[in-house]
Amino acid sequence: MEKRIKVKDLLKCEAGRKVTVKGWVRTKRGNKNVAFIALNDGSTINNIQIVVDKTAFEESLLTKITTGAAIRVSGDLVESVGSGQSVEIQAGEIEIYGECDPMRYPLQKKDTSFEYLRTVAHMRPRTNTFGAILRIRNQMAFAIHKFFNEKGFVYLHTPLITASDCEGAGQMFKVTTLDLENVPRNKKGEVDYTKDFFGKETSLTVSGQLEGELGATALGEIYTFGPTFRAENSNTPRHLAEFWMIEPEMAFYDIKDNMDLAEEFIKYLVKHALDNCMDDIKFLNDRYDNELISRLESVADTEFVRLPYTEGIRILEEAIANGTSFEYPVGWGTDLQSEHERYLVEQHFKKPVILTDYPKDIKAFYMKQNEDGKTVRAMDVLFPKIGEIIGGSEREASLEKLENRISELGMSRRGLEWYIDTRRFGSVPHSGFGLGFERLLLFVTGMSNIRDVIPFPRTPKNAEY
């Protein structure tokens, strides 16, 4: 028997040789004499067509070839007459690996809505749509490492278990081995975390940034890329409780360098998708969103708008004066909601916007303070259909200003001294940002719910599989 060839490679082969292919049956149709099997092995959105001369096989074997069944086929690769592909296989030998009961197979159902598929997330990678999404996800992860590797950034592994509430960026999940039925307490009646596994209170990380800064102020330029956890109880189509974040952090970068990097990065990723995932993107474009490809192409070669927050608020207030209505109020000092971000991007500028210089009171303590005493050097990258895709800033490099801000906010310095040390010993101007991997994937795939771009979504009341 010939060595197995993946469908993706088979479809590029010349006819006139013997081949072996293995995969799952997508469909079987035909007539009395001949059956046509569409076989997929996950290597591509495309299927290979298998032509079966029914007289040459046992009926008992043929009936086992149903949608979802896993099979091996060996035979001749021949030129295809009408399957839409250049080649197909004339079956010589068929082996059934695993049968699939058509009455019970969850993907046999007529209902293939995204909502239904989320309830069978263990099976949904078998569908064309999720196959496409997961292959794109893989390519994007690769492109992220490639981008930073080409630039000489160091991939830094920051911890998932942390003892610092990094930036108050959302609620944290506690990590504990204490017996919840019988919690040890100290004399004051508080939970006695000295009895806990780490001897102190710990949580799952909401960001690797603070540790990332330690790396950047030694290695120069680093990035993290890993799971991130936020226990925010918000059931939105843009939030997960467990998501992946990419956080570059760079010494000697000011806010302008930071914006340049963010823009270059995201364009590189979109271009990589267009160059390497076109079969899958085209499928998603034709099936769900026929502006997907043009949206990706336009972002890949459009200069992003760069605009101070104060200007953004002025534009939104003007829009309201001219009759636009928003669910949430707008005013200097308020945090922008996704509807406001999308208005700026989709209605006003019609291209991605980098909004800068936010009021300090709605941003984290570590952001570099501007001379005006009111704003900080924050930068959020806002995208069509999504709103915020990146949040970043130049960091406050002055020990004095950082300490003042920490006490102004009434934050506890306990457990933060190691961070403050970066400003004590060889402090440098530095900057960084966080890109939500699934938000990027929403943009690249055109999906509208973040649960549909991660294999096993974790959201409030949902931790299946």
Binding site for ligand ATP (CB under 6 A): 169-170, 230, 232, 239-240, 243, 245, 388-391, 434, 436, 438-439
Q: Quote the CA–CA distance of 304 and 311 in Å, as a whole number.
A: 15
Instruction: Report in angstroms how near the CB of residue 230 gets to ligand ATP at its nearest.
Output: 5
Binding partner of residue 240 among Mn ion, ligand ATP, none, CB cut-off 5 to 8 Å per kind? ligand ATP
Q: Which is nearer to ligand ATP, 245 or 447 (CB)?
A: 245
Q: Which is nearer to ligand ATP, 193 or 433 (CB)?
A: 433
- The CA-CA-CA angle for residues 142, 238, 341, to 5°, reads 105
Binding partner of residue 402 among Mn ion, ligand ATP, none, CB cut-off 5 to 8 Å per kind? none
- What single-letter amino acid sits at 196? D
Per DSSP, helices labelled H in 34-86 are 59-62
3-state secondary structure 287-335: HCCCCHHHHHHHHHCCCCEEEEHHHHHHHHHHHHHCCCCCCCCCCCCCC
Binding partner of residue 169 among ligand ATP, Mn ion, none, CB cut-off 5 to 8 Å per kind? ligand ATP
Q: Which is nearer to ligand ATP, 88 or 452 (CB)?
A: 452
Instruction: Report in angstroms how near the CB of residue 291 gets to ligand ATP at its nearest.
Output: 22
Residue 45, classified by CB atoms within 10 Å of its CB into exposed (0-12), middle (13-18) or buried (19+), is: buried
Q: Which is nearer to ligand ATP, 395 or 439 (CB)?
A: 439
Binding partner of residue 88 among ligand ATP, Mn ion, none, CB cut-off 5 to 8 Å per kind? none
Q: Which is nearer to Mn ion, 212 or 391 (CB)?
A: 391
Residue count (the chain): 465
Instruction: Report in angstroms how near the CB of residue 223 gets to Mn ion at its nearest.
Output: 17
Binding partner of residue 76 among Mn ion, ligand ATP, none, CB cut-off 5 to 8 Å per kind? none
DSSP SS3 for 131 = helix
- Stretch of residues binding Mn ion (CB under 5 A), selected from 22-30, 146-154, 186-194, 389-397: 389-397
Instruction: Report in angstroms how near the CB of residue 169 gets to Mn ion at its nearest.
Output: 8
Contact 18, 9 (CB under 8 A): no
Does an H or E element contain 389, and which?
A: strand 387-394
111-114 contacts: CB < 8 A, separation 24 or more? 114/447, 114/449, 114/451, 114/452
For 331, the token pair is 């005013």
Q: Which is nearer to Mn ion, 196 or 438 (CB)?
A: 438
Contact 357, 370 (CB under 8 A): yes
Binding partner of residue 280 among ligand ATP, Mn ion, none, CB cut-off 5 to 8 Å per kind? none
Instruction: Report in angstroms how near the CB of residue 253 gets to ligand ATP at its nearest.
Output: 17
Instruction: Report in angstroms how near the CB of residue 207 gets to ligand ATP at its nearest.
Output: 6
Could you tell me which of 238, 222, 240, 221 has the C-alpha nearest to residue 230? 240
Per-residue mark of binding to Mn ion, 51-70 (x: CB under 5 A):
--------------------
E strand map for 211-259: 221-229, 242-251
Could you tell me which of 63, 75, 61, 64 has the C-alpha nearest to residue 22? 75
Q: Which is nearer to Mn ion, 24 or 433 (CB)?
A: 433
Binding partner of residue 230 among Mn ion, ligand ATP, none, CB cut-off 5 to 8 Å per kind? ligand ATP
C-alpha distances in Å from residue 234, one per residue of 165, 241, 429: 19, 9, 35
- Stretch of residues binding Mn ion (CB under 5 A), selected from 98-106, 213-221, 275-283, 386-394: 386-394
391 binds Mn ion (CB under 5 A): yes
Half-sphere exposure of 295 (CA within 13 A, CB side): 22
DSSP SS3 for 345 = helix
Binding partner of residue 416 among Mn ion, ligand ATP, none, CB cut-off 5 to 8 Å per kind? none
Instruction: Report in angstroms how near the CB of residue 303 gets to ligand ATP at its nearest.
Output: 21
392 binds Mn ion (CB under 5 A): no
Instruction: Report in angstroms how near the CB of residue 138 gets to ligand ATP at its nearest.
Output: 19
Instruction: Report in angstroms how near the CB of residue 151 gets to ligand ATP at its nearest.
Output: 20
Instruction: Report in angstroms how near the CB of residue 389 gets to ligand ATP at its nearest.
Output: 5
Q: Which is nearer to Mn ion, 106 or 308 (CB)?
A: 308
Contact 397, 430 (CB under 8 A): yes
Contact 72, 97 (CB under 8 A): yes
Binding footprint of Mn ion on the chain (CB under 5 A): 391
